[in-house]
């Protein structure tokens, strides 16, 4: 049975996979050092992005309506959905939703400005 014709891009990906597999077999210490550096770099980028978000939210009012928050997320360079952003804000405890007042409470605003 003949092999199917694969696109050049797929063949290049297979070639690089084989190169990486060979490197892991022949130089595992070197590859592990690369993996550790990449992991640390990703962790630093994630922390930096969170600090930028905290700084941005610090300039916002102490309370926002859902429409205001939605407009802020839509006008930003955030590529995710409004729902994913609100989940992120809740998960990091940067904002919470007060159902009684129907507003989002911004926890990044200094205490003196919340009153």
Span 11-58, pLDDT tens digits: 999 999 999 999 999 999 999 999 999 999 999 999 999 999 999 999
User: Does position 113 have pLDDT exceeding 80, yes or no?
Assistant: no
Q: Which has more confidence, 115 or 2? A: 2
| Coil vs helix vs strand at 62 | coil
User: Does position 114 have pLDDT exceeding 60, yes or no?
Assistant: no
The tens digit of pLDDT for each residue in 62-92 reads: 999 999 999 999 998 899 999 999 999 999 9
Which alpha helices (H) appear in the chain, and where do they start and end?
8-26, 28-58, 66-75, 82-91, 111-114
| pLDDT (0 to 100) of residue 73 | 92
Token pair 């690089």: residue: 16
């Amino acid at each position: 049975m003949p092999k199917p014709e694969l696109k050049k891009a797929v063949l290049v990906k297979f070639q690089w996979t084989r190169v990486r597999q060979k490197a892991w077999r022949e130089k595992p210490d070197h590859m592990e050092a690369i993996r550790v550096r990449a992991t640390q770099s990703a962790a630093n980028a994630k922390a930096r992005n969170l600090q930028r978000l905290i700084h941005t939210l610090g300039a916002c009012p102490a309370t926002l309506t859902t429409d205001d928050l939605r407009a802020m997320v839509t006008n930003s360079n955030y590529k995710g959905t409004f729902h994913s952003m609100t989940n992120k804000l809740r998960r990091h405890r940067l904002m919470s939703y007060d159902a009684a007042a129907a507003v989002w409470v911004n926890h990044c605003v200094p205490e003196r400005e919340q009153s």
